[in-house]
Amino acid sequence: MTSLLFPGSFDPLTRGHKDIARRASKICDKLYVVVMNNNKKTYLFDLDERVQMVKEVLGEYENIEVLGSDGLLVDIFKDLGCNAVVRGIRSESDFRYEAEMALANKMLCPSYDVTLLPCRDDLSLISSSLVKEVGSYGGDISGMLPAQIVDKVNERLRKGRT
């Protein structure tokens, strides 16, 4: 059985992330989507809230399991016994970032490997930061997010404006 691990902050999960999860789920028997923390970022939603939102969006896929972890990626990778990690790339700069992360993770765990999926052209400009920036000014973010979480994200961003 092949299993892949798709980690990310998902603050919030965008349509770009959803597309990567959907495609990754087709090339393995089991896909673990793991919501994690990147200590360089500050978050709009805490870890549990992000896990709940990702579950809501990806619940329709039978071979996807959503988990949360505030530890190291290599630790959960080893614990779950995955074949590789999967990440989406939108640009050359994403590629450079992913290559550096992969090297660092491989130093920590020699069996670590990563599969990079190029994202869809029409989703390549979406990022969680863009969603938050546009939404914080009251702009329309519905085209960037899975429908299930648009209201939740708008509501949280509205609180920040008051």
Point out which residues bind ligand COA (CB under 6 A): 7-10, 14, 16-17, 20, 36, 38, 41, 72-73, 88, 90, 101, 104-105, 119, 126-129
> What are the angstrom distances between the C-alpha of 42 and each of 91, 109, 139, 147?
23, 27, 21, 24
The distance of closest approach from Cβ of residue 31 to ligand COA in the complex, given in angstroms and rounded to an integer, is 14
Q: In the bound complex, what is the minimum distance in angstroms from residue 152's beta carbon to ligand COA? A: 16
For ligand COA, the closer CB: 1 or 135: 135
Nearer to ligand COA, 1 or 26 (CB): 26
Distances, alpha carbon 93 to alpha carbons 20, 132, 146, in Å: 18, 21, 25
Least distance in angstroms from the C-beta of 101 to ligand COA: 5
Distance of CA 61 to the CA centre of its chain: 15
* Vertex 125 angle, CA 152 and 157, to 5°: 25
Comparing CB distances to ligand COA, the nearer of 1 and 8 is 8
Query: Which residues sit opposite 32 in a β-bridge?
Result: 5, 65
Tell the residue number behind the tokens 């190291």, with chain if given: 72
The CB-of-116 to ligand COA minimum distance in angstroms stands at 9
Nearer Cβ to ligand COA, position 126 or 141? 126
